[in-house]
Amino acid sequence: MNLDDVPALARVDQHDTARILTEFPEQCRRGHALPAPVLGGARPRLIVVAGMGGSASGGDMVAACGAETLDVPILVHRGYGLPAAAVRDALVVATSYSGDTVEVLSAADVALARRVPLVAITAGGALGALADARGLPRVALPSGLMPRMALGYLVFPLLAVLAGCGARVTSAGEVDEALEVLAAQADELAPARALEKNAAKRIALNIGDRLPAVYGGPLTATAAYRWKTDFEENAKVLAVAGAVPEMNHNEIEVWRGPAAANRHIVLLREEGESAQIARRFELIRDLATPAAGGVSETWARGTGRLARILSLAYMSLWVSFYLAMLHGIDPWPVPTLEEVKRRLASR
Ligand code: F6R
């Protein structure tokens, strides 16, 4: 597949994912403008974001943005129920784009049973119905997207909900910067932009048939995990994600044997990383390059944490899109994970 052949891409991209991705900056703008509830009551001592898959990813990114400045811990809970620490002085944000994810519904049930303040962020489904029936504070999202492609609707309303309960993560300036950075990227990464000037196409081509291993630092490891799941859901390609420095203590061992030739490293860098982290990225590159199937590097854009993390997430959406194209795969449907949900529901 020639990634510059736009009509050929459109034939594989049967659900017009390219358009959804091109509109992603606008989606973020709309997500930022959605009305969010202002919660009364005391400032929470713990924020639990309950979500799975693409919906949990918004929680991960907000938690990473707040990690250095917010004095309230944000715990992203992926699973049934709620952790024991979620008690009445906490806030539970149930995030499910579809509103029908059973783990999130179970978390909401436990929050109600424990009388933990609960907010829903959803486009509808059973969670939307529960919020309506119980009069819960809710952010109503527009429907019609794949959850993983609705990241703008999951991140920005969550930021607003947290700001509304006294746990502000980002300033207005940081939000504006993120929106500007994403708008610039939309032009640079779109299918009409030729390979030599399109970093997302180049990374996808560098990966080719190899297994991608994505490594990030203290801020960007969250994005690395997002890259892994985007490769898996969009391109249907197994990927691994790791965090620097932790991977220096284990995973680094896999990069000098002959099997490394079948894998490709992607390093997610940012200008705010410390000298220690920068040194470790250089070491990974030096040690892995001789045996690895290749090493790519991409840098976050902007100066604020929100712009940096979202710019890497946006790059991930595009790289996984182009990798899907290279494999002749429509990135939109996820039939196997949907079958799991169907089978669970039928029991
Ligand atoms: C599918 C996707 C999945 C879902 C997950 C939870 O596009 O991204 O990872 O996000 O199955 O579903 P929701 O987000 O609807 O709660």
> What is the per-residue burial (b if ≥16 Cβ within 10 Å, else e) of 93-108?
bbbbbbbbbebbbbbb
The Cα–Cα gap between 164 and 172 comes to: 14
Distances in whole angstroms, Cα of residue 170 to Cα of each of 75, 133, 195, 197: 17, 32, 34, 32
pLDDT at 255: 97
The answer to whether the beta carbons of residues 264 and 207 sit under 8 Å apart is yes
Please tell me the distance between residue 296's alpha carbon and the centre of ligand 1 in angstroms: 28
pLDDT, residue 288, reads: 97
Q: Which helix (H) or strand (E) holds 167?
A: none
Q: Which of 77, 101, 104, 155 to mutate to test the pocket of ligand 1 (most atoms within 8 A of CB)?
A: 101
304 C-alpha vs ligand 1 centroid, how far in Å? 27
> Which atom of ligand 1 has the smallest separation from the CA of 341?
11
**208's torsion region: left (phi>0), alpha (psi -120 to 50) or beta?**
left
Q: How far is the CA of 203 from the centre of ligand 1 (A)?
A: 25
Distance (Å, whole) CA 88 – CA 116: 4
Q: Which atom of ligand 1 is nearest to the CA of 95?
A: 16
Work out the end-to-end distance of the chain between its first and last CA atoms, rounded to an integer number of angstroms: 42
Which residues are tagged catalytic? 233, 249, 341
Pick from 324, 113, 181, 119: nearest CA to 239: 324
**Best of 337, 341, 343 to mutate for ligand 1, by most ligand atoms within 8 A of CB?**
337
Output the pTM of the full model.
0.97
Ligand 1 pocket by C-beta < 6 Å: which residues?
52-55, 96-98, 101, 104, 146-148, 233, 334, 337
Q: Which of 55, 61, 158, 316 to mutate to test the pocket of ligand 1 (most atoms within 8 A of CB)?
A: 55
- Residues 266 and 248: their CA atoms lie apart, in Å, by 15
Nearest CA to ligand 1 atom 11: 53
- Which atom number of ligand 1 is nearest to the Cα of residue 154? 14
d(CA 162, CA 174): 15
pLDDT at 41: 84
Which atom of ligand 1 is nearest the CA belonging to 96?
A: 16
How remote is the CA of residue 97 from the centroid of ligand 1, in Å? 7
Ligand 1: centre distance to CA 2 (Å): 30
Ligand 1 atom having least distance to the Cα of 148? 8
95 CA to centre of ligand 1 in angstroms:
10
pLDDT < 50 regions, the chain: none
83: CB partners within 8 A, 6+ apart: 48, 75, 77
Q: Which residues pair with 219 in a beta bridge?
A: none
The residue whose CA is least distant from atom 10 of ligand 1 is 54
Beta strand residue intervals within the chain, DSSP E: 46-50, 74-77, 90-96, 118-122, 138-140, 211-216, 240-243, 263-269, 295-299
